[in-house]
Amino acid sequence: MNMKKETMGTLFALATAVISGFSIIVNKFFVASIDPTVFTAVRAFIIGLVFLIIAFYRKDFSKGVKKINWPVMLLIGFIGGAVAFLLFFTGLGLTTGGRAAFLHKTLPLYTTLLAFLFLKERITKKQVCALVLMFLGTVAIYCTKINPTELWSNPSLGDKLIIAATFLWAVENILARGVMIKKESNYIVTFSRMFFGSIFLFLAVFYFGKADILFTLSHEQIIKIMVSTLFLFGYVFCWYNSIKLINVSKASTLLLLAPVVSLILGVAVFGEPAPAMQLAGSAMILLGAFLVSRTKSEFVSGI
């Protein structure tokens, strides 16, 4: 892997982190007025169609539709595009945006281990130190007590749902990286994640009797969904370009910059608490992200 790819992959990962930091706070505001199942289903469907068009334009289907590993693509859609999104946005409505952001950024703790076990990605000593540092920073923030309010009515349940969603996204990342190693187009993977995920989510909408909500969305709610969709498009575009170029464990570690952005916006927009322990944790995460950004991606086992 040459230096240009390493640099571009790192830049894509950093861009993903910034977009993620903004989107969590924006979505915290949006999900309060829209059912999370309907919200995630419509967003995923739109993004899925966009990436389908991109894949056709790039002629990514030229090798033949039958040669695509559709069972894995469906699994990616179900795990990462449906269940994880539903758990995350349900949890986001119950806890604070800043707290959800940092819990979500425990992603490297799961992804790095899974990548080591199943993809034979190497974990360098510098990466281990960075992960430990960022883990401690995340723990510092997690241990800060949050009292329930109208905007975060059940932080404990919300936190659990966020953690469950994060683990499922780690599994999805490994599946996605695995098919990309076998030369599958990242645009086809992204299409599968979002489009198939939306199908599963729409089935959930009808199964839980929420079809009336879907067909009676107000003009304001539609605008909110479209704005959120733009954030999601930017996120998945940058993310899949990143893990195509660098280790998924390194890329996911760089995403730990995102909760710092969310923390600042959460305080400014929602008046969320920001005690000294949270600020100290944020500083640790920034330092860890800096260290891991200087780690070169390799594909051999061992530490």
Q: In b/e form, how buried is each residue of 237-250, taking b as 16+ CB within 10 angstroms? A: bbbbbbbbbbbbbb
Show the beta-strand stretches assigned E in 6-129. none
For position 71, what pLDDT does the model report?
94
Residue 104: C-alpha distances to residues 108, 187, 188, 214, 236 (Å): 9, 24, 25, 27, 16
Cα(271)–Cα(293) distance, integer angstroms: 31
For position 210, what pLDDT does the model report?
94
3-state secondary structure 208-250: CCCHHHHCCCCHHHHHHHHHHHHHHHHHHHHHHHHHHHCCHHH
Are 127 and 292 spatial neighbours (Cβ–Cβ below 8 Å)?
Answer: yes
Nearest C-alpha neighbor of 293 from the set 127, 101, 122, 177: 127
Ramachandran class of 209: left when φ > 0, alpha when ψ lies in -120 to 50, beta otherwise: left
For position 301, what pLDDT does the model report?
33
Backbone phi, psi, residue 260, to 5°:
-65, -45
- Whose tokens are 């199964």? That residue is 207
For position 303, what pLDDT does the model report?
31
For the chain (length 303 residues), average pLDDT per consecutive 10? 81 91 89 90 93 90 84 96 95 88 81 83 84 84 81 87 93 91 88 95 95 94 93 86 83 81 85 81 81 62 32
Q: The tokens of 72 are what?
A: 């894995």
Are 254 and 289 spatial neighbours (Cβ–Cβ below 8 Å)?
Answer: yes
Angle subtended at Cα 38 by Cα 27 and Cα 173, rounded to the nearest 5 degrees: 65
Half-sphere exposure of 204 (CA within 13 A, CB side): 21
pTM tops 0.75: yes
Nearest C-alpha neighbor of 97 from the set 39, 14, 34, 155: 155
Show the beta-strand stretches assigned E in 87-242. none
Q: The tokens of 196 are what?
A: 């198939």
CB atoms < 10 A from the CB of 18, how many? 17
